[in-house]
Structure 1
Amino acid sequence: MPDPGAKNPELAPIPGKRYFTIGEAAELCDLKPHVLRYWEQEFPQIQPVKRNNRRYYQRQDLLLIRQIRSLLYEQGFTITGARQWLGGNEASEDAERYQQLIRQTINELNDLLKLLKSVK
C-alpha cells in the first residue's frame, strides 16, 4: 500500500527502532497522543503492543498512522471515508489473491484434463 504520509517533507524519518512509545509515535506522526488513542478505536488496523498498561508502536503502525493522517488532514477524508478507503484496499488485495488462486486452479484442472484425455 502506498504511504503518502511518509513522503510528507514535514514528517521526520522513522528511526530504525523496533518499538516506539505513544509520545515518540505522536511526535513522529505530528499528532497528539490522545488522537492516537482515539484513532485506535476508529481504525482496527492500528494495534500497538500493550505491555504493563503502556502502548508500544512498531514501524508498520507508524506507517499506517501517517497514511491515515494524510487521508484525513491532507486529502480531506472523513474518518468513515478513510476507514472505508483502507478497508477497500485490503479487500482489493484479497480479491487479487483469490483471482490468482482461481487462475492457478483452472490451469491445474486443464492440465489434469489433458492428462486424462491422453490416457484414453
Structure 2
Amino acid sequence: MPYKEKKIEKLYYSIGEVADMFKVNTSLIRYWEKEFDVIKPKKNKKGNRFFTQGDIENFHLIFHLVKERGMTLKGAKQKLKENKEDTENNFIVVSRLQEIKDLLLEIKDAL
C-alpha cells in the first residue's frame, strides 16, 4: 500500500489570504471585522490579524448575505443576531445545491 500524506489544514490565515479567498480588498475584511462581532481574529504583538477556520466560515456567511443576497450590513447584523443557526443552515443548503448544479453542468458539458 503506497504511503499517503495527510492533507494538512491551516489553523490560521492572514488577512491577505482571507481577502484572496473572497476576491475582495483587505480593507473590506478589516471593516467587516469591526462591524460584525462574530469575527474575532487573533492578533500578534505587531497587530497582524490571524483568522481561524471559524472566522472564515463567518466570513462566508456574511459574504453570502451581503454580496450574494444583497442585504445591507444592518440587515445582515440583525439576521445573524436573530437566528444565526437558521441562516447557517440555509447557507449550507444553498452551497450544496450550487455544488450539485456545478457538477451537473460539468457532466452536461462532457456529454
TM-score by length of 1: 0.60
Matched residue, 1:84: 78
Structure 1 residue 90: Cα displacement: 4.3
Q: Which residue of 1 aligns with 2:103?
A: none
Any runs of at least 4 consecutive aligned residues in structure 1 with deviations exceeding 6 A, and if so which? none
1:69 paired with 2:59, answer no
Partner AA of 2:31 in structure 1? Y
| C-alpha displacement of 1:39 | 0.5
CA contact (8 A) 1:29 1:62 kept: no
Q: Distance in 1 between matches of 2:53 and 2:22?
A: 11
Q: How does 1:10-49 map to 2 (within 5 A)?
A: 16-49=9-42
Task: Return the index of the structure with the highest Cα Rg.
Answer: 1
Q: CA deviation at 1:27?
A: 0.8
Larger RCO of the pair (alpha carbons < 8 Å, separation 6+): 1
Measured after TM superposition, the shift of residue 67 of structure 1 is 0.9
Question: TM-score normalised to the size of structure 2?
Answer: 0.65
* Alpha-carbon separation, structure 2, partners of 1:20 and 1:88: 28
1:58 aligns with 2:44: no
In structure 2, distance between residues paired with 1:29 and 1:20: 13
RMSD over aligned Cα atoms: 1.8
State the aligned residue count: 78
Deviation readout 1:85-120 (Å, 9 max, x if unpaired) = 00112498xxxxxxxxxxxxxxxxxxxxxxxxxxxx
